[in-house]
Amino acid sequence: MAAARRGELTPAMRQVLAAERIDENDLLAGLASGTIVVPANHKHGSLRGCGVGKGLRTKVNVNLGVSEDCCHVERELDKVRRAIELKADAIMDLSTFGDTRAFRRRTVELSPVMIGTVPVYDAVARYGKEVGRITVDDFFETVHVHAEDGVDFMTIHAGLTQTALQRLKNRPRLSHVVSRGGSLLLDWMSANDRENPFYEHFDRLLALCREYDITLSLGDGLRPGCLKDATDAAQIQELILLGELSARCREAEVQVMIEGPGHVPLNEVVANMQLEKKLCQGAPFYVLGPIVTDVAPGYDHITSAIGGALAGAAGADFLCYVTPAEHLRLPDAQDMKEGIVAARIAAHAADIAKGIPGAQDWDNAMGEARRELDWTRMFELAIDPEKARAYRASSRPIDAETCTMCGDLCAVKRSRRILAGQ
């Protein structure tokens, strides 16, 4: 942000310009004002700069990491490699067990995409204490370790304050607090009868982020965990506080994103996007889903893609993928693939709706390939070429130019012949 305000292009900014159709002056203006961020810790040596925000492609994040129940480090590292192959724009390491630092360092080392973490998770794993006995210095030392390891953006639930919690107590929820980081801080605040340490010591956090050029992703600890709780007083109170904190980030020249819901009925998705943009002065919005119905376990990659497409079209800048395993178990590699593909479809659909320059060119090329019945080109253009080829190979037509759905009644082949005057 400081460089952009001086009118200077950094190497990471140049990489963004090479990957996006945005004017150099527009990029600098967006970075200077805070409507665009380029998460790029200077210790992440393998990083390829990626922009998130106004006028840029909607980006997709993948969550992974080891847990106590599924502590398979090499399997998770394979998922890191596979996520990169599947064109994820970011990876969040949410590890909560074992040698989390070794896993995090290996992830940063092999990943050209930006890496995010939630340090409060790691503080629990790192110190092995009851949550209430973790000290303020423990929390900040964990943030410092993640910074040293090259993490580009960090989720910090600094807006979950005593004021926000009072809103929750005044109007109880059906699903209470479903954010893991939010629940940990709730536990700490209750055990110590104190304010959220990241809110109370926010300037200390800003100093660390400024030193390493880490982007703050202000977490939504009070995001709704079911439709009934969506857009309630607790969620909006936290969002108001995040807006105030985002202004402090800009004053300190620290890049900031805002995290959002969560479970939201379809008719409230647009309003949630508008509220964030208004209250947070246009800061990039990073949303989980949103999941638009609660009754589809095993299919939540679909429920979130529906919400994500609408959210993106209405202004969301960054979609956190959701897999079929959401609410059920740790995702495996196949779950991860389905989640990435669903989120990428949603992001691309949103880009077309937003009029992102060049977004529809991809679709136009596919339309041309289908007109010509150019199957090789169709596979090359498919968002999942592997699946498209497998489907085609599983049912061979008599006429190799057509498919087994229509065969000799292929409308494309027939109309092309007639309109060509043959």
Instruction: Summarize pLDDT for 155-164 with one digit per residue, the tens.
Output: 999 999 999 9
pLDDT tens figures, 98-144: 899 999 999 999 999 999 999 999 999 899 899 999 999 999 999 99
Asked if residues 242 and 272 have their Cβ atoms less than 8 Å apart, the reply is no
Consult the annotation and say whether 406 binds a ligand: yes
Residue 70 confidence class, pLDDT cut points 50, 70, 90: confident
Region 334-343: what's the mean pLDDT?
Answer: 98
Distance CA 65, CA 72 (A): 9
∠ Cα 225 79 92 (to 5°): 45
Q: What is the pLDDT of residue 72?
A: 83
Phi-psi category of residue 216: left, alpha or beta, with phi > 0 → left and psi -120 to 50 → alpha: beta
Asked if residues 33 and 4 have their Cβ atoms less than 8 Å apart, the reply is no
* Angle of the 180-192 helix axis to the 119-127 helix axis, nearest 10: 60
- For residue 259, which of 200, 199, 203, 319 has the smallest C-alpha distance? 319
Beta-bridge partner residues of 153: 116, 215
Asked if residues 252 and 210 have their Cβ atoms less than 8 Å apart, the reply is yes
Consult the annotation and say whether 222 binds a ligand: yes
Consult the annotation and say whether 220 binds a ligand: yes
Residue 69 confidence class, pLDDT cut points 50, 70, 90: confident
Is the dihedral angle over the CA atoms 294, 300, 306, 312 positive or is it negative? positive
Q: What is the pLDDT of residue 78?
A: 95
| C-alpha distance across the termini of the chain, in Å | 61
Consult the annotation and say whether 410 binds a ligand: yes
Q: What is the pLDDT of residue 421?
A: 79
Consult the annotation and say whether 241 binds a ligand: no
Region 182-208: what's the mean pLDDT?
Answer: 97
Consult the annotation and say whether 114 binds a ligand: no
Q: What is the pLDDT of residue 97?
A: 86
Asked if residues 288 and 327 have their Cβ atoms less than 8 Å apart, the reply is no
C-alpha dist (Å) from residue 76 to 23, 43, 73, 103, 120: 38, 22, 5, 9, 20
Structure tokens at 353: 């709706």
DSSP for 71-138, please give it.
--HHHHHHHHHHHHHTT-SEEEE---SSSHHHHHHHHHHH-SSEEEE-HHHHHHHHH---GGG--HHH
Structure tokens at 56: 């840029």
Contacts of 332 (CB under 8 A, 6+ apart): 325
Q: How many CB atoms lie within 10 A of CB 117?
A: 30
Q: What is the pLDDT of residue 71?
A: 78
Region 355-361: what's the mean pLDDT?
Answer: 97
Distance CA 17, CA 408 (A): 47
For 214, the enclosing helix (H) or strand (E) is none
The overall average pLDDT reported for the chain is 96
Contacts 24+ apart (CB under 8 A), 366-371: 370/412, 371/412, 371/416
Consult the annotation and say whether 299 binds a ligand: no
Q: What is the pLDDT of residue 98?
A: 87
- Residue at 137: amino acid letter: D
Structure tokens at 66: 């080891």
Q: Give the homologous superfamily in CATH for domain 56-354.
A: Radical SAM ThiC family, central domain (3.20.20.540)
As to burial, measured by CB atoms within 10 angstroms (0-12 exposed, 13-18 middle, 19+ buried), residue 410 is middle
Contacts of 240 (CB under 8 A, 6+ apart): 279
Asked if the model's pLDDT at residue 422 lies above 90, the reply is: no
Distance CA 11, CA 386 (A): 34
- Residue at 349: amino acid letter: A
Consult the annotation and say whether 180 binds a ligand: yes
Asked if the model's pLDDT at residue 238 lies above 70, the reply is: yes
Q: What percent of the chain has pLDDT over 90?
A: 95
Consult the annotation and say whether 200 binds a ligand: no
Give the number of residues written for the chain. Answer: 422
Region 396-400: what's the mean pLDDT?
Answer: 93
Consult the annotation and say whether 209 binds a ligand: no
Contacts of 395 (CB under 8 A, 6+ apart): 403, 404
Q: How far is CA 110 from the centre of its chain?
A: 19
Consult the annotation and say whether 179 binds a ligand: yes
- The pTM assigned to this predicted structure is 0.96
Instruction: List the domain boundaries for the chain.
Output: 56-354, 360-419
Q: Which has more confidence, 420 or 364?
A: 364
- Residue at 191: amino acid letter: A
Distance CA 296, CA 239 (A): 27
Consult the annotation and say whether 92 binds a ligand: yes
Consult the annotation and say whether 348 binds a ligand: no
Query: What is residue 318's DSSP assignment?
Result: E
Asked if residues 112 and 46 have their Cβ atoms less than 8 Å apart, the reply is yes
Consult the annotation and say whether 391 binds a ligand: no
Distance CA 235, CA 244 (A): 15
∠ Cα 56 62 65 (to 5°): 150
Distance CA 332, CA 324 (A): 10
Distance CA 13, CA 25 (A): 11
